[in-house]
Amino acid sequence: MQKILIMKLISYQFFFLVTFQYLELIMKEDNSSLPFRNSSLRLEERVEDLLNRLTLEEKFKISSGRLMWFTKKIKRLGIDSFAMFDGPHGVRPDYKGERPCTYFPSAICRAATWNPQLSEEFGIAIAEEVRELGAHMILAPGINIQRTPMCGRTFEYQTEDPYLNKILAVSVVKGVQSQRIAACVKHFVCNNQETNRFTYSAEVGERALQEIYLPAFKATVKEAEAWSFMSCYNKVNGVYGSEHINLIRQTLMSKWGFRGFVVSDWNATVYASTEGCVNAGLSLEMPIANVYKVKKMLKAFEEGKFNIDDLNDNVRRLLRVMFLVGCFDSQDSLPKGSRNTPKHQALARKIAQEGIVLLKNENELLPLNITRIKKIAILGPNAKLKTSVGGGSSTNFPPYEITALQGIKERCKDKIEIIDSSIDPDISILFVGLNHEENMDAEDTDKTSFKLPSDQIQLIKDTVKQNTNTIVVLISGSPISMEGWIDEIPVLIEAWYAGMEGGRAIADVLFGDVNPSGKLPITFPKKLSDSPAHKSDKTYPGDENVLYNEGIFVGYRHFEYNNIKPLFPFGYGLSYTTFTYDKLQMNNTRVSDDEIIRVSFELENTGNREGAEVVQLYIHDVESSLPRPPKELKGFKKIFLKPKQKETIIFELNSEDLAFFNEELNDWVVENGTFKILIGSSSEDIRLEIEFKYIN
Ligand code: GLC
């Protein structure tokens, strides 16, 4: 009897399924001839045609997601899901690793290359992998300013400096969107810590917003036409990012001319309101409808809490990007995708090679001469550390990951004996640092200690006592204190989380196959209390409010203004060769508003190895009416030179580069008076400088 009942149920289920699908098929309009399907029409014509065909309920429906990474389908019109995946250093289509993707170096490592070309190539490569997976957007780059070295997501972000941040962010976005894949610039804005990330309010002044926190976001719109932004979890001056009408509708859209769409961070809307988000300009609530449930939207609409024009603008923006990425075009008209290719893996290695920073190299112990070494000890907890998995939403599942130990073993082959004890090796290489565990370099928690774990500090001391030829390699994603051991070690490298090819890149640098050229994109303080955010509990971690009392004095701006010597300064990194800076010239030492300021100088590789130098240009406003930092980065170039090769380097500035934001005038101003241009190898190592008068 029971069997018959079950058989009947199955047959009824099958019948309904077939019927439903048949009905769906006949209900689905044949829209192949409709204007929005016609790729010869202008973009806006297609967008408007499709928008006008959507019913009110369908507009509500398309405004929230399903199954974590997709928008809902509108089958009646043949609108398929718009698909998006994390993350900032590799695509993660699922949490099972069934579709492995290239694991590129973390954003802070990519930033340490100071190489915009590599960032653009990274953008292209990650977009190719998104395309190959049949998706349309990458939830990257993450470009929040590194306000505190304790932020758990420091490794996911680029730098403490707004100029370096914007140059690299623009490069990534251009690369991604060159493949007709949307970049999603995140997290808009002031998501600078993980402590209380869902609720804290960044209490930040307008000048700091304009000079520090907004510039990179603005540049991705003005210079790269970013197609998507992700709103932040936190509040900014008391208003949640997803319903921040001033930041989104007024600044991002009206002032900056943003034509893409804003997507919420995942469940970032849970404390917001339906009308707040619609009116602010939030087009898409992810991963599922909270405030954008159809019935909630209908109720708010019927109560007049938002109007059809704002709703249409939000939906129009999403549709516009769906057209831009080719959702309604034939697949063969789109750039081809590719995933896990040797080309992408080689790029991961190159970014790692150029992102590794040589911090100490006493007695030129490096590079290692493979012909003169018999035995190397590879020690420390991070020698075998894999960093692809973990750390939160930026986790990756690559087809392989080369650890430091694997990279060195592969490089040494049978030429050098590799041991794991520090008894009488020629060289000891000690791999220490952090990892993606909670309260280290990981999303959703900040670091709880600024020091290395005590057992690692002891291991460093013990190792260097047994062998003065000890090289310490940090595998980490954020600054740490080195108090108590830094002076005892002759060689120190910051290798960051260097991606799936990181182990090979580390070996490339250690054995001199690559001359290190990385420069710190973030200041390494001697102690945490030196850091500008750490002046009181109110400034970090704060409670419901985090007081950005340091204003514009973030990172090296703060250290220099207050004459605090850092452990390692912003822009610092050594090389296996040396460079000289000479013959600084300037086109005009009296400059007015519409004039281009041109400086040139000669850079020479005075060593016997080819190498790359990141020349940095800072400005200083000598006579400003408001406090200004002693240095502000306004230019940099990465110059590759062979031994004894010289190159004339030219920088051009304009008056905008001299400006600061005046809150009273609510505008940027350049004041008459004396300015300095300082050119150097780091923010502290200034090699040339010149003064000029600005007269308007
Ligand atoms: C996370 C992150 C965001 C990520 C998103 C989807 O919470 O804040 O960066 O893209 O949710 O995983």
pLDDT tens digit string along 347-376? 999 999 999 999 999 998 999 999 999 999
Q: How far is the CA of 265 from the centre of ligand 1 (A)?
A: 6
Report the percentage of the chain scoring pLDDT > 70: 96
Q: Is 275 in the pocket of ligand 1 (CB under 6 A)?
A: no
Backbone phi, psi, residue 96, to 5°: -110, -10
Between 1.10.520.10, 3.20.20.300, 1.10.3720.10, 3.40.50.300, what CATH number should domain 35-332 receive?
Answer: 3.20.20.300
Q: Is 504 in the pocket of ligand 1 (CB under 6 A)?
A: no
Region 553-570: what's the mean pLDDT? 98
Q: Is 427 in the pocket of ligand 1 (CB under 6 A)?
A: no
Q: How far is the CA of 246 from the centre of ligand 1 (A)?
A: 23
CATH number of 579-695: 2.60.40.10
Q: How far is the CA of 35 from the centre of ligand 1 (A)?
A: 36
Which tokens sit at 601? 């100088």
| For the CA of 393, the nearest atom of ligand 1 | 12
Q: What is the mean pLDDT of the chain?
A: 95
| For the CA of 184, the nearest atom of ligand 1 | 10
Q: How would you classify residue 433: left for phi > 0, otherwise alpha for psi between -120 and 50, otherwise beta?
A: left
Tell me the per-residue pLDDT of 272-310, one tens digit each, with 9 for 90 and over. Answer: 999 999 999 999 999 999 999 999 999 999 999 999 999
Tell me the per-residue pLDDT of 634-644, one tens digit each, with 9 for 90 and over. Answer: 999 999 999 99
Which tokens sit at 589? 């030492």
Tell me the per-residue pLDDT of 311-325, one tens digit each, with 9 for 90 and over. Answer: 999 999 999 999 999
| For the CA of 233, the nearest atom of ligand 1 | 8
Using DSSP's 3-state secondary structure scheme, residue 108 falls into: helix
Rg of the Cα trace of the chain?
Answer: 27
For residues 482 and 527, what is the distance between their CA atoms, to the nearest angstrom?
9
Tell me the per-residue pLDDT of 514-552, one tens digit each, with 9 for 90 and over. Answer: 999 999 999 999 999 999 999 999 999 999 999 999 999
Q: How far is the CA of 446 from the centre of ligand 1 (A)?
A: 16
More confident residue, 33 or 688: 688
CATH number of 342-561: 3.40.50.1700
Question: pLDDT grade, residue 590 (50/70/90)?
Answer: confident
Give the pLDDT score at 319: 98
Nearest C-alpha neighbor of 425 from the set 367, 473, 471, 491: 471
Give the pLDDT score at 177: 98
- The pTM is what? 0.95
For residues 259 and 257, what is the distance between their CA atoms, to the nearest angstrom?
6
Q: Determine the residue of 393, 394, 445, 446 to mutate for testing ligand 1's pocket, defined as the one with the most ligand atoms within 8 A of the Cβ atom.
A: 393
* Own/partner pairs, 489-493, CB within 8 angstroms, 24+ separation: 489/360, 489/460, 489/464, 490/360, 490/361, 490/362, 490/363, 490/365, 491/360, 491/361, 491/362, 491/365, 491/366, 492/358, 492/359, 492/360, 493/356, 493/357, 493/358, 493/359
Q: How far is the CA of 180 from the centre of ligand 1 (A)?
A: 22
Give bridge partners of residue 640 from the DSSP assignment: 612
Give the pLDDT score at 423: 72
Give the pLDDT score at 160: 98
- The protein residue whose alpha carbon is closest to atom 7 in ligand 1 is 266
Flag whether pLDDT at 188 surpasses 90. Answer: yes
CB 80 within 8 A of CB 325: no
Q: Are strands 375-379 and 417-419 parallel, antiparallel or unpaired?
A: parallel
Give the pLDDT score at 589: 83
Tell me the per-residue pLDDT of 407-444, one tens digit each, with 9 for 90 and over. Answer: 999 999 989 999 888 678 899 999 999 999 999 999 99
| For the CA of 444, the nearest atom of ligand 1 | 7
Q: Is 265 in the pocket of ligand 1 (CB under 6 A)?
A: yes
